[in-house]
Amino acid sequence: MFGEAEIVVPAELAALHQKYSGESGQAWISALPALAAMCIDRWQLQIDGESAFGAVALIIPVARRDGSRAVLKLQPVDDETGGEPTALRAWAGRGAVRLLEHEPGSGAMLLERLDAARDLTVVEDDLAAARIIAELLDQLNSVPAPAGMRRLSDIAAAILAEVPDAVRLAGDADERRLLSQCAARLAAMITDPIEDRLLHWDLHYFNVLSTLDGSQRWTAIDPKPLSGDSGFELMPALWNRWEDLIRTGDPSRALLRRFDVMTEVLALDRPRAATWTLARVLQNAVWDLVRFNEPQIQSSQRTIAEILIDKRA
């Protein structure tokens, strides 16, 4: 019946919240079945398939009273997730998944259902897939950021503030030198005005799904929205599907082809876009070295930085 539900929280999702959020993560997981039941009752939904999950959210496929299919997305509200409903409203289904309902107190969202089995990894040509991402970003970034959205300038300042710790913890002298070079480039650039485009921040190949309406339009999901410069958007599409770059036998050339396609579609200044991509290397280094106590930055991140510093200085 509509409005009735029995929710089982996946053990893997519970483990992720325990790992990254400790007691607060455990508390959220404990409250999750009741939250799901409340939303299903409030919006008169019926569970319509197996639940899925990512690093943070639980996704429950549901049917609405009118027979239309949707998904219930449940995730903690924090700095990264809090702006998602506002961004989805601003995009209004143009390039991004459509928001159907939102419960502000919990952050729960009812979203249009997309084809979870068809993401951009089904496009075998990774360069063609990167072009699709760039075309989506061009559409998404054309929207001015709503008032109150997190600002890229603040994110950049926070990254730079943690760079000394990251450099100190880096594994070798070349890695420390690379991080210092990235930081110098970013510090010099953020003195310039930063645009106020509405950014997705995490648009990679798994965060683009096909619609179910027969048109098979590619649609962005799971934004971590920011107000800022479109050059900050490139890194996920450069970094993911890394094995496709390796298989070419010349990953440097293949990476630059992705970079060139994306900057061309988005009409970006290439040195500026390169510097914003180096900022993402710094951000990932801070997360790995400082927050998660990794012994070194990921080799793919290091390679991207080396290539862009060498070719785009």
Active-site positions read 202
Backbone angles phi, psi at 300, to 5 degrees: -65, -40
What CA dihedral angle connects 247, 266, 304 and 297, to 10 degrees?
A: -110
Crossing angle between the packed helical segments 251-266 and 299-312, to the nearest 10 degrees: 70
User: H or E segment at 196?
Assistant: none
∠ at Cα 221 (219, 224), nearest 5°? 135
∠ at Cα 142 (139, 147), nearest 5°? 130
58, 131, 199 from 28: Cα distances, Å? 12, 38, 27
Residue 161, CB half-sphere, CA atoms under 13 Å: how many? 6
Could you tell me which of 137, 123, 120, 121 has the C-alpha nearest to residue 223? 137
105, 201, 275 from 307: Cα distances, Å? 45, 22, 12
Structure tokens at 122: 């089904």
